[in-house]
Amino acid sequence: MSGHEVVKSAPTESWRSRFIRSMLYGRNVDRSAKARTRVGFAIIAFAAVYLIIGGRLVFFAINGDSHGTRRTASQDATATARPDIVDRNGEILATDVKTPSLFGEPRRIIDKDEAIELLTATLPDLDAGEVRDRLSSRKGFVWLKREITPVQQKEVYRLGIPGIGFLRENKRVYPSGPLASHLIGHVNIDNQGIAGMEKWLDGTGLADLHRAGFATDRLQKPVELAVDLRVEHALRDELLKAKDKYKAKAAAGLVSNVKTGEIVAMVSVPDYDPNNSREANDPTRINRLTTGVYEMGSTFKALTLAMALDSGKANLNTQSDARASLRYGKFSIGDSHPLGRNISLSEVFTYSSNIGAARIALSQGVEAHKTFLCARNCLKAPSRLCRSIGPN
């Protein structure tokens, strides 16, 4: 072995390794110092992320209920405020009161089975299957029961179930009950008008005010009707007595101011209590004055006599033969109380003579009769009456 030391040379670095190192760390840079700096930046970034997450969790834990309530009230816009409805003397016919409603937030409920068991035990009228379906949904907010009583609210509150809360809504109340139900109408569970004056209010801009956010509590003027609650009560009382006396299925009456055309009272019995709007679905409780369909009967004679006078072919003294029944086709037209003589046109109206009115109509002719009725009633748009009497 020679006296010369053997020196091993360091392995040469390939060009690929040099290229990658220069791209990652640059040239002439202390790799250990740069690694420590990068680890420090990573620690700071992760700490910031976790700090933000922790802060948001604390925020939701403190303000979760109020936040959910504000979100629900703004998005759903349910049970919005409505103006009071009063009669001509300022007596309240319809007004809003605050009432709590029960809601749930399925994402926040820890034990759904326990929550359903406690809620159905406290509120027996809740359907367990329906509550389970709602609480099992992925929604952030679901209604469980609308318009509960303050006692029920206290009982549910004492259960202390996370994710179960209350939202105060406007509930429509009718202090006079069924007294003016057909005039006022009623609202649905969301305080939206679906009949009578309540529906008219929504159709004349109230719904638009709600959507715009201007129809808030106590900022709306009461709607004053021409109806007098005292006259309405008296008329309803008389109609109920007459209905019982004559064993009628229904009765209706109307009191109006002949000088102005104002409706002072309008009653149709049987009526319904708008505080329990389900009664309105009963077909026997319709408004006979606005919805009922009736034959014109003897009131049609006024139009026939007006036609004769308007044509100039007859006057109040024109005579008609009412001595015997009038035969027309297979029909025989007679009077309930025959006079047995010739009668004038004014007597035809006074005694409501079927024979006299029929003879006057025949003297004018069928086409003239059609033309007169359509000219008086269908100047702008043909009505169902004109279509029905027109040529077939």
268, 224, 278: which is closest to 94 by C-alpha? 224
Burial grade of 198 (CB within 10 A; 0-12, 13-18, 19 or more): buried
Q: Which two tokens stand for residue 366?
A: 């069928």
Q: Which two tokens stand for residue 331?
A: 């029909």
Q: 288 with 267: CB under 8 angstroms?
A: no
To the nearest 10 degrees (0 to 180), the angle between helices 300-311 and 354-364 is 40
188, 191, 183, 131: which is closest to 156 by C-alpha? 131
Q: Which two tokens stand for residue 129?
A: 């299957």
Q: Is 202 left (phi over 0), alpha (psi -120 to 50) or beta?
A: alpha
E strand or H helix at 115, and its extent? helix 112-122
Active-site residue list: 298
3-state secondary structure of 176: coil
Spatial separation of the C-alpha atoms in residues 169 and 192, rounded to whole Å: 13
69, 262, 25: which is closest to 164 by C-alpha? 69
User: Which residues are CB-neighbours of 251 under 8 A, at least 6 positions away?
Assistant: 239, 240, 242, 243, 268, 269, 288
Spatial separation of the C-alpha atoms in residues 130 and 208, rounded to whole Å: 33
